């Protein structure tokens, strides 16, 4: 056990100027992974904006279309053969991606940007 500790301590001193009291950093550290994940989300969002895509998955687009027809979560779930709780999660993601506060605003944004069209 003592041998392992000294090896780690030597590695810590070799890797940093401060020795074993230094905070762990580098690509394997959880904080760096979080930063990389946030950066990749930001990059993906910029690419989607440049491409003019709405960022909605095909299933989210189906749910949004059903919302525009006035169906509730249970009815949407019945039509798409998924649970109403899965529909609720899709709706939550739609609202986040479109920056809407409620279902009506999400449909309004989708109509304005041409993600869906109302055919009468």
DSSP string covering 32-84: HHHHHHHHHHHHHHHHHHHHT-----HHHHHHHHHHHTT--HHHHHHHHTS-H
Residue 7, domain member (yes or no)? no
Residue 10 in domain? no
* Domain total of the chain: 1
Q: Is 9 contained in some domain?
A: no
- CATH number for 93: 1.10.10.10
> Is there a domain that residue 90 lies in?
yes
pLDDT in tens, the chain (120 residues): 455 555 555 555 544 554 555 555 555 555 555 555 565 666 656 655 554 456 889 999 999 999 999 999 999 999 999 999 999 999 999 999 999 999 999 999 989 888 888 775
Q: What number of CA atoms fall less than 13 Å from residue 14's CA on the CB side? A: 6
Q: Say what the pTM is.
A: 0.56
Residue 81: which domain range?
55-113
């Amino acid at each position: 056990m003592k041998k392992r500790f000294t090896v780690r301590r030597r590695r810590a001193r070799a890797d940093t100027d401060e020795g074993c009291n230094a905070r762990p950093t580098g690509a394997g550290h959880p904080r760096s992974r979080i930063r990389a994940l946030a950066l990749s989300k930001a990059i993906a969002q910029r690419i989607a904006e440049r491409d003019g895509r709405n960022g909605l998955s095909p299933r989210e687009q189906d749910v949004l279309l059903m919302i525009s027809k006035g169906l509730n979560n249970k009815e949407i779930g019945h039509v798409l053969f998924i649970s109403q709780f899965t529909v609720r999660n899709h709706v939550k993601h739609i609202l986040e991606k479109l920056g809407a506060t409620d279902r009506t605003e999400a449909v309004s944004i989708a109509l304005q940007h041409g993600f869906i069209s109302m055919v009468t």
